[in-house]
Amino acid sequence: MTLTLLCRRQITLQRATVVAGTDGSQIRTWQNVMAGMPASILKIRMMRRAEHFRQSASVDTVVMTPIDTGAQLDDRIFDGLWYYRVRWVMNLGDRDQAWAIYTQWLDPQDDI
C-alpha cells in the first residue's frame, strides 16, 4: 500500500524571510515554498514523545507525506487550521516515497 492512500489532508510548507520595515526594523514574513501536498498528521503520545528527547527538540506531531518537501529546521507547516514548526525530517526509506516531518504544534499566540 502506498502512503498516498492514507493522506487525507493538504499541507503548505512555509519558510521565513526577513525584510526591512519602513522604520529600519527587521520583519519576519512567511512565504509558501510548496502548497497542496498530500499528508497525514499524527499526534505522538506522551510515552513515545520521550524517545525523541535525544533529538534535543520538542516534538508532538508527525506529518507523513509521500513528497520530499525539502523542509528545513524552523520552517512552518500549515494544514488549513493549525501551524507546526519543523524540528527534523526523516526519509522513511520507501524508495524516497515516504517522508516523516517531526514537528511541534504551535499555539496560535506563539511567534516563531
pTM of the model: 0.79
Residue type, 56: S
Per-position b or e across 85-108, b if 16+ CB within 10 A of its CB? bbbbbeeeeeeeebbbbbbbebee
CA–CA–CA angle 49, 53, 58 (5° rounding) = 70
For residue range 39-82, list pLDDT tens digits in order: 999 998 764 554 555 555 678 899 999 989 999 999 999 999 99
Mean of pLDDT values over 80-90: 93
Distance of CA 100 to the CA centre of its chain: 9
Grid cell locating 19:
525584510
- The residue extents of the domains of the chain are 3-105
Domain 3-105, architecture per CATH: Beta Barrel (2.40)
* Share above pLDDT 90 across residues of the chain, in percent, rounded to a whole number: 53
